[in-house]
Structure 1
Amino acid sequence: MGIVVGYLATPEGRAALDAAVDEARLRSTPVVVVASVRLDEGPERRTETEEALAGVQRELTGLGVAHEVRLLTGGDVADDLITTAEEVGAQLVVLGLRRRSPVGKLILGANAQRVLFDAPCPVLTVKPAAR
């Protein structure tokens, strides 16, 4: 059991991580942080993601939040989140959503939509605070 959160080093990823930590504390359960790097993104992207995840791991340790960090390579972001949620018996999946143009608001991002429809548990979507 746990809270699965999709993480990117973006304001949306930060909002998702913060919400996941809040939910984990409320439910007394660990957080499973999932970051995905596609093979076509190159070694620089993987290195950046590893560094960001190391910072997240230090932060969660410092906060005393039970956690696991997973860096998954080569797969599909939505599949990675859904599979992880199934593997850990997740209580909740948390996703950060970015603001979209008026036209983009009509259509949710493909990855977010797949997670919403196919996750084995409830999905919480969050967005960063307005600037």
Structure 2
Amino acid sequence: MAIVVGYVATREGRAALKRAAEECLLRNAKLIVISSHRGGSKDFDADEASQFEAELARVARQLQDEGLEHEVRTLVRGNDPAEDLISVAEAENADFIVIGLRRRSPVGKLILGSNAQRILLDASCPVLAVKAE
């Protein structure tokens, strides 16, 4: 059994990680944490990359302390995060994917969010969407 979670260091990302970890404990499943970045962007420089790596190391320590079987992957392949999560979930034959959702304005609700919408519509496994507390 495996559960895939998309992780970004935001309230929504932490909520998704927390819920995915809880589900893994309940199901005795492996947790696969995916941090996906397009790369090659002016916004994703060396400093930001090192901050992401430090955050992911903290997440790995936290999961280790909780006694969870886990794997943390940073993917910089030029794909949308949705594409990376879906492909990892399919390759790992995941039981489901966990994603975090944020509140949106009425106009934002119309679009939902391209990554969240794509995961919900295109994933071949169930998707658990959680909100931050």
TM-score after normalising by structure 1: 0.94
Matched, 1:113 2:117: yes
Q: CA deviation at 1:46?
A: 1.6
Q: CA deviation at 1:118?
A: 1.1
Q: Which residue of structure 1 lines up, in the alignment, with residue 7 of structure 2?
A: 7
Tell me, in whole angstroms, the C-alpha distance in 2 between the residues paired with 1:117 and 1:44: 34
Q: How many residues of Structure 1 are paired with residues of Structure 2 in the alignment?
A: 129
Q: CA deviation at 1:75?
A: 2.2
CA contact (8 A) 1:3 1:92 kept: yes
Matched, 1:33 2:33: yes
Identity of aligned residues (%): 54
Unaligned runs of 5+ in 2: none
> Secondary structure of 2:128's partner?
strand
Matched, 1:65 2:63: no
> Secondary structure of 1:14's partner?
helix
**Corresponding residue to 1:124 among 112, 128, 133:** 128
Instruction: Please give the residue correspondences for 1:42-81 in structure 2 after superposition, counting only pairs within 5 Å.
Output: 42-73=45-76, 74-81=78-85
Q: Which residue of structure 1 lines up, in the alignment, with residue 20 of structure 2?
A: 20
Q: Once superposed, which parts of structure 1, at least 4 consecutive aligned residues long, lie more than 6 Å away?
A: none
Unaligned runs of 5+ in 1: none
Counterpart amino acid of residue 46 in structure 1: A
Tell me, in whole angstroms, the C-alpha distance in 2 between the residues paired with 1:117 and 1:45: 30
Matched, 1:84 2:88: yes
Tell me, in whole angstroms, the C-alpha distance in 1 between the residues paired with 2:29 and 2:17: 14
Q: CA deviation at 1:76?
A: 1.5
> Secondary structure of 1:68's partner?
strand
